[in-house]
Amino acid sequence: MLTSRTTTLAANLEGLYRRHHKDMLFHGWHHIYFVAKKAVYFAKEYDINREIVEAAALTHDLNYLVAANSKPEKGKALRVQYLQDAGFSISETQAIDDLVMEGDIATRHANISDAAKALSDADTLFKALPVTPIIFARGFTIENKIDIRKLADKVVGDQKPLMDKGIYFYTDIAKEKYLEWAATNLKMWENVRSALDDEDVDEMLSIARTLKVI
């Protein structure tokens, strides 16, 4: 962690997430720690306050502890509590909360701030990792109480417009190293949607559910 404040914040949040590890199968501490580390790394590309970026990354998904499949706004009260307990001022806390909102994948656009770009690239990268759909996709459906079709619709709905607009990633570092992964991942989820529309696949999945295989 970059500073004593983010060290304290991370320690407090790690304890929180570990207490809720059975519920946070996708957005758990493994995700938060990865995003925080990568956000600081991507932030090096800009002249910005990396401590604020790190704090935003550490607190960006607290909404999932409040309600399944919720928006970042739901996490505001928890963000305020943990940020202020770690020593962030009221004005800093508001700036961090604004940054979390700005970097959200569902609403971000081409003209977000550099700090939001670093945060967004780190969070989006976790979704694009080749291991994520294999290891964590089922965890996402359980955590958020949705089925695989809704997850596929969400992934494609959120990510395809960003890919088409050339803003899947913002930083040169992320584009150069991870954009191929992202494109492959998106294509896979498009194929998942197509497969779910196949009658034979649908029948096979129905049998599997009956047998409690899935």
End-to-end CA distance of the chain: 39
State how far Cα 214 lies from the chain centre.
25
Ranges of H-type helices in 67-113: 76-85, 90-102
pLDDT of residue 131: 98
pLDDT for residue 81: 98
pLDDT value at position 92? 98
The span from the CA of 106 to the CA of 68, in Å, is 16
Query: 201 is written with which tokens?
Result: 């696949």
pLDDT at 116: 98
CA gap 193, 160 in Å, rounded: 13
State the angle between helix axes of 29-43 and 4-19 in degrees (0 to 180), rounded to the nearest 10: 160
CB 36 within 8 A of CB 57: yes
Q: Which CATH number do you get for residue 124?
A: 1.10.3210
Handedness of CA 197, 198, 199, 202 (dihedral sign): negative
Is the Cβ–Cβ distance between 53 and 115 less than 8 Å? Answer: yes
Report pLDDT for 18. Answer: 98
User: Residue 72: which domain range?
Assistant: 4-210
**Do residues 74 and 66 lie in contact, with contact meaning Cβ atoms separated by under 8 Å?**
yes
With CA atoms as reference, report the closest residue to 185 among 109, 110, 133. 133
Given this model, what pLDDT does residue 25 score? 98
Q: What is the pLDDT along the chain (214 residues), one digit of tens a residue?
A: 999 999 999 999 999 999 999 999 999 999 999 999 999 999 999 999 999 999 999 999 999 999 999 999 999 999 999 999 999 999 999 999 999 999 999 999 999 999 999 999 999 999 999 999 999 999 999 999 999 999 999 999 999 999 999 999 999 999 999 999 999 999 999 999 999 999 999 999 999 999 999 8
Whole-number Cα distances in Å, 81 to 61, 86, 94, 99, 100? 14, 9, 12, 16, 15
Q: Return all residues near 78 (Cβ < 8 A) that are at least 6 apart.
A: 59, 62, 63, 65, 66
The reported pLDDT for the residue numbered 50 is 98
Q: What pLDDT score does 89 carry?
A: 98
- Give the total number of structural domains in the chain: 1
